[in-house]
Amino acid sequence: MSATRYTYLGPEGTFTEAALRTLPEAATRELVPMVSVPAALDAVRSGEAAAALVPIENSVEGGITATLDALVSGEPLMIYREVLLSIKFALLVRPGTTLADIKTVTAHPAAQPQVRNWLKAHLPEALWESSASNADGARLVQEGRYDAAFAGEFAAATYGLEPLITEIHDAVNAQTRFVLVGRPARPAAPTGADKTSVVLWQRDDHPGALLELLQEFSVRGVNLMLLQSRPTGQGIGNYCFAIDAEGHISERRVGEALMGLRRICPEVRFLGSYPRAEVMPGEVRALRAGTSDAEFVEAAEWLARCQDGRA
């Protein structure tokens, strides 16, 4: 395994690369662009790379299904860190192109919902076609395949393009969340501001099946931050559920919730416990009464006293 190589959704000039370069260790790693999220993750699975940074969620459209599906299937991987990046697009064109010249535009599919209203207002007749990434769209503009691409302004110099218009975004303060993914290992120690990610499969479909899964978190005071269903590929109506929950697997409330899920689900895929990017430890909300580690320990000791006749 190459311990110094990190892969990411390429080519050069993507928002993913910009997010990766915010990590301190990126300065000492070989950063290798890949053509797709599955390709970036497969390089980790095969040992060609130590980790991959990939987009997993944005604040406009929610979960990025290509990444979720690549984590759900195949050899298990684990999330070790997350990065939040504010997203603002620039309309990149070949030198000399005017707004009136633009008949075709391209970008990654996740970009379209973030620029849809701007596109409707300023280029209502332009034909949209999706590209593998925003930077790949810029490369296709450079090659003459399209007239313009929505990408980060920083990608213009890489592909010999000009930012015709900058600061494009339909939603103010739009962000994309990226995760650093590696092979399974012991999770890092809890920080006090952590997130745990899992994927759950139902044993069978029946009334209240999803409620049963969610109650394992609810009764232990574990707050959920993301819940998304994904088809299993085994027919209409068959879904698994990707969940992000507050807390760390080493905390009693989270660990017991996962044990409860393991009892009632045919499969639970643990995707990792890792520091949250949007908060500091001192900013985390107070735990509900009865859900701290100390209270779980006291309850276990009380049960032991009852079993021993010492209650």
Per-residue pLDDT at 201 exceeds 80: yes
Task: Give dist(CA 163, CA 91) in Å, integer.
Answer: 6
Work out the average pLDDT over 53-69: 91
Q: Where are the alpha helices (DSSP H) in 52-133?
A: 65-72, 112-122
pLDDT at position 93? 97
Dihedral, 256, 261, 263, 266 alpha carbons, nearest 10: -150
> Measured at the alpha carbon of residue 237, what is the angle toward residues 65 and 234, in degrees to the nearest 5?
75
When mean pLDDT is compared across 7-16, 226-235, 252-261, the lowest value belongs to 226-235
Percent over 90 (pLDDT), the chain: 75
- Tokens representing 112? 């379209």
pLDDT at position 208? 87
Task: Give dist(CA 202, CA 193) in Å, integer.
Answer: 29
Instruction: Determine contact, residues 18/154, Cβ cutoff 8 Å.
Output: yes
Residue 194: how many CB atoms within 10 A of its CB?
25
Measured over the CA atoms of residue 35, residue 38, residue 40 and residue 44, the dihedral's sign is negative
Tell me how far the alpha carbon of residue 188 is from its chain's centroid: 18
Give tens-digit pLDDT for 256-305.
999 999 999 999 999 999 999 987 666 667 778 888 888 899 998 989 99
Per-residue buried b or exposed e for 30-60, using 16+ beta carbons within 10 Å of the residue's own CB = ebbbbebbbbbbbbbbeeebbbbbbbbbbeb
In the predicted model, what is the mean pLDDT of the chain? 92
- Tokens representing 166? 């900058």
Measured over the CA atoms of residue 34, residue 11, residue 119 and residue 170, the dihedral's sign is positive
